[in-house]
Amino acid sequence: MKLLLFFIDGLGLGKNDESNPARGLLDGIADIPFVQDFSPSEFPEGILLSADASGDVPGLPQSATGQAMLITGVNAPSLLGYHLTALPNEVLVDLVTERNIMIHLAGRGIPVTASNLYSPEFFAHREALQEKRGRNTLPVSALTIQSSGTPFRYPADYDRGRALFADLTNRFLNERGYDIPMISVEDAARRMAGILTEADFVFHEYFATDTYAHKKRTVDLERALGEINIFLRTLREETDPDETAILVVSDHGNCEDADNADHNRNPVPVLLLSRNITARDAFRSITRLDEVHGGILAYFGLPVDDEVPSDSIAGL
């Protein structure tokens, strides 16, 4: 059994009306809109659940604490006593680098990898900032990959068809002046299908949704959501739906409310695309974002309360 954790930044389950540009995310996949009112739902290709991202802490859910909840299975907002935006602080850095899902799976013999394209310049810039500011400058995603011992994917990997930029098509890179060709969403899905042959668990971070929503770039946001839909549909065609599952989850709501450019307290989706009933059963009881970690462990047949062996993270 293989699993793609497709993390989409800033995607909640909103209303079933025209104010929600994300409601058509399941078009061609399921006969239900991608909204709160249809969660939970089960359909031939999978299940749609919702999860609270607030951790029962007042205020608007934010990226650092939300992503830490998802990746570690710990209620990070409750741990800190507040929601933390952007980059993890020292407490969350320790949490993420000691018990993230990639460390846990790898420590139990499950082959893991991450598909995102990085550049050496990204890390050089972050290291320079960290020296200047004296605090962490890496997001949860990069800390997760790094601490698990998983190699980052660089332009040479991309040239071999073995990496994807976060937005799938390289549009962001072109907008920033990088000389890299745009690719189709269908080609991105085929690349991901190839990466899924390398490991049983693949992590991919997608951030364009949150970026466009904050800037109220409505046309770009609608295009991005349409591309995600095409990506999911194409990836189902390129993989065996009985043997490979796609888990779509987020850190907080945002892009599903076109009237508001800020985060919100909408539940986040737990969308599992799989025809395998046992795979679905691993996630059925999820009601809060930090429980996704346990669902992934259950998917791979691991005890939810199982601790990471200390020797599996030694030296990381």
CATH code for the domain of 267? 3.40.720.10
Distance CA 60, CA 84 (A): 9
Q: What is the pLDDT of residues 228-277, one digit of tens each?
A: 999 999 999 999 988 999 999 999 999 999 899 999 999 999 999 999 99
Domain count, the chain: 1
User: How would you label 203-214 residue by residue, b for 16+ Cβ within 10 Å and e otherwise?
Assistant: bbbbbbbbbbbe
**Is 73 contained in some domain?**
yes
**Is 316 contained in some domain?**
no
Distance CA 58, CA 14 (A): 19
Distance CA 84, CA 73 (A): 16
Q: Whole domain around residue 169: which residue ranges?
A: 2-305
User: What average pLDDT does this structure show over 148-165?
Assistant: 97
Angle at which helices 140-147 and 90-99 pack, to 10 degrees? Answer: 40
CA dihedral 107, 272, 50, 33 (to 10 degrees): 160
**Is 17 contained in some domain?**
yes
Write down the pLDDT at residue 309.
40
Q: Is the pLDDT of residue 189 over 60?
A: yes
* Band of residue 291 on the pLDDT scale cut at 50, 70, 90: very high
Write down the pLDDT at residue 306.
54
**Is 315 contained in some domain?**
no
Distance CA 44, CA 56 (A): 33
User: What average pLDDT does this structure show over 155-166?
Assistant: 96
**Is 313 contained in some domain?**
no
Q: What is the pLDDT of residues 303-316, one digit of tens each?
A: 986 544 433 333 32
Write down the pLDDT at residue 179.
86
Write down the pLDDT at residue 242.
87
**Is 166 contained in some domain?**
yes
**Is 311 contained in some domain?**
no
**Is 310 contained in some domain?**
no
